[in-house]
Amino acid sequence: MEKIDILSLSLDELGDILAEKGEKKFRAKQIFQWLHVKRIFDFDEMTDISVQLRLRLKEIFCINRLFVQKKLESAIDNTVKYLYRLPDGNFVETVLMEYNYGHSICVSTQVGCKMGCRFCASAIAGYIRSLEPSEILMQIYETEKDAGVRVSGVVLMGIGEPLDNYDNVISFLGLLSDKNGNNLSLRHVSLSTCGIVPKIYELAELKLGLTLSVSLHSADNDRRSEIMPVNRTYNIDSLIEACRHYISKTGRRVTFEYAVIDNVNSSDEDADRLARLLRGINCHVNLIPVNKVKERNYRTARAGVAEFAKRLGRRGINATVRRTLGSDIEAACGQLRRDAAEHNGNGGAEN
Ligand code: SAH
């Protein structure tokens, strides 16, 4: 019988399985805290649990750890990028960033991505599978262990489309914020999506308190469809409608991500269009200089982002420019995994 991935289970689910197997349900909390508070990933080290029960636990459950395959540390700003090997030999990337208020971590939600955004390295390496809740969570636990820090913020902006792995991402968020476990408020979490409209409506119903970030990148349908194929299914009007719904349902401001790309989306006319689209919406615009991806020719002129921010400002839209971190270690998502995949010639799995 295949063992159950214990780190993907909520406290209730763990209790139910223990009861099903004839064990005492109240043990669940004790085990849950060993895993999620004390971060002990070996049943033999759970010393207040009887030897007999520990043996049973080992028969029923597995504790899936991640392994550091590669680690790059920025000499400029202490950003650390991890390439993690998953139990099945696939790879994902995680980035630890240092700010003056603490550490923030960027996690992946899938091995690769189906969305095919033209400017994104994750799309180039291809899609393999979605991550389990434990595989998203363990990127945080393993990084905290390795770096000796506690993160105070989490962004779901690594490889993958979180809303294309909806159920596992929601389970992950439950584990991340569980009061009996890791206990991180979802106020400190951002979820970034390319705009899977029906899932934005579903997410709104949950009123989780996290920040929804929407990768917009163009306010023109033809242009957006060109660079983001998802726009052919869910166009800008339907996306903005979903965002308005999300804002009114949750009372939370939405962030729009906009990578400023020369000759694609950074003209005066583009600024006009964006300002018109977002006028009156409780939102924030985050401008990103596009990260160079070697297979593509997209670039941002040095002065391009600041200039575009000014153009938006003159049109009454406040925009901030995202700080570039880890520029010396290719911290942009998808680049390490793509290189590992190229090296192995098989899309990321070891064999
Ligand atoms: N799939 C999700 C989250 C992962 S990407 C999404 O699309 O939002 C995280 C952010 O990085 C997105 O805003 C994405 O559009 C952006 N991004 C991807 N490749 C980039 C690049 N080469 N330069 C700048 N931003 C990029």
Encode pLDDT of 232-290 as tens digits. Answer: 999 999 999 999 999 999 999 999 999 999 999 999 999 999 999 999 999 999 999 99
Q: How far is the CA of 255 from the centre of ligand 1 (A)?
A: 13
Q: How far is the CA of 101 from the centre of ligand 1 (A)?
A: 24
283 is catalytic: no
Which residue owns the Cα nearest ligand 1 atom 13? 215
What are the sequence ranges of the domains in the chain? 4-62, 67-344
Query: By the 8 A CB rule, do 66 and 135 touch?
Result: yes
Mean pLDDT of the chain: 92
pLDDT tens for 96-108 read 999 988 999 999 9
Is 230 close to ligand 1, i.e. is its CB under 6 Å away? no
Please provide the CATH number assigned to the domain covering 4-62: 1.10.150.530
275 — alpha (psi -120 to 50), left (phi > 0) or beta?
alpha
Q: How many residues does the chain have?
A: 351
Query: By the 8 A CB rule, do 222 and 250 touch?
Result: no
Give the CATH superfamily of 67-344. Answer: Aldolase class I (3.20.20.70)
Pocket test for ligand 1, best of 92, 110, 117 (most atoms within 8 A of CB): 117
333 is catalytic: yes
* Alpha-helix residue ranges (DSSP H) falling in the chain: 11-20, 27-36, 51-60, 121-124, 133-147, 166-177, 197-206, 221-227, 236-250, 268-278, 304-314, 335-344
Where does the pLDDT of residue 291 fall: very low under 50, low under 70, confident under 90, or very high at 90 and above? confident
The whole model's pTM is what?
Answer: 0.94
Pocket test for ligand 1, best of 104, 325, 333 (most atoms within 8 A of CB): 333
